[in-house]
Amino acid sequence: MSRASLAQPPRHVTVACCQLEPVLGAADETRRRIRGTVLEAAARGAQIVVLPELANSGYMFHDLDELRSAAEPLDGATIRELRALASAHGLVVVSGFAELDGVDAYNTALLIDETGLRATYRKAHLWNGEKSCGFTPGSDRPPVIDTPHGRIGMMICYDLEFPEWVRFVALAGAEVLCGPVNWPLYPRPHGERPGEIVRVQANAAINRMFVAVADRAGTERGQKWLGGSVIVDADGYPVTQLHLGEEALITATVDLAQARDKSISMLNDVHMDRRPELYVESEKS
């Protein structure tokens, strides 16, 4: 394969995905766990830190009232904590967050750097019980943000199952797509890699960008979680070991120049070879 990135200056960043177990109904304890894992990531040299979906609250809500009681506004205690950590350690933090906005609750991702809260994204594709417990779906495309440690896109869990959604982020120039997730543990054939991870690898490869996914661990109200946090390179290969089902901190140092190179042969480029005029169904006569 031709790699134009070899002619570009390397840009190495260290990414950490924090596979922790939030405690439903125990906000202070959950913030303590978040603080501990972010500090450990910083101590390992991480510059980009990714936390799971709904990291501040847990996931298995009975109803909207319980969800509202756990959700926080964007000036709440969890965001103040993350802002302080990012400022003190020069981090970019992407975290899942149960957001309360008036009477509405959102499954949100946020990006914080040392200057403060840079962007939020509300999950557009709600999964299963997220609909019945009362989350409001988002309606905006996922953002891509220039940060001191790279050009970062973010989306949440089930959003990653929609290649059209991932393509928006790739075409906007994301070098790293950060995905807070809560992946339920489902049966799979013996010896097979979890399908959620396979799809992340495919997203990374067809767009030639890094993907960093932070899953959660543990069991909550009878729901077991996969614990499949992974960092995938621009060729679609994992660069971290899996720690399925257990709390873990995974890190990898990656060269973002590889994500700026979309060539896969001397004459092929995964973005320039697109023919979007063929992908729209023509009007029937």
Which residues have a catalytic role annotated?
53, 123, 157
Place of tokens 């594709």: 125
- Find, among 85, 82, 87, 88, the residue nearest to 55 by Cα: 82
CA angle, 163 then 168 then 169, to 5°: 100
DSSP state of 284: P
Structure tokens given for 203: 């997203």
Going across the sheet that includes 12-19, the strands are 116-122, 104-113, 92-101, 48-50, 12-19, 248-255
Looking at the chain, which runs of residues are DSSP E strands? 12-19, 48-50, 92-101, 104-113, 116-122, 144-147, 150-154, 176-180, 210-214, 219-220, 223-224, 230-232, 248-255, 263-265, 268-269
Report whether 229 contacts 215 (CB < 8 A): yes
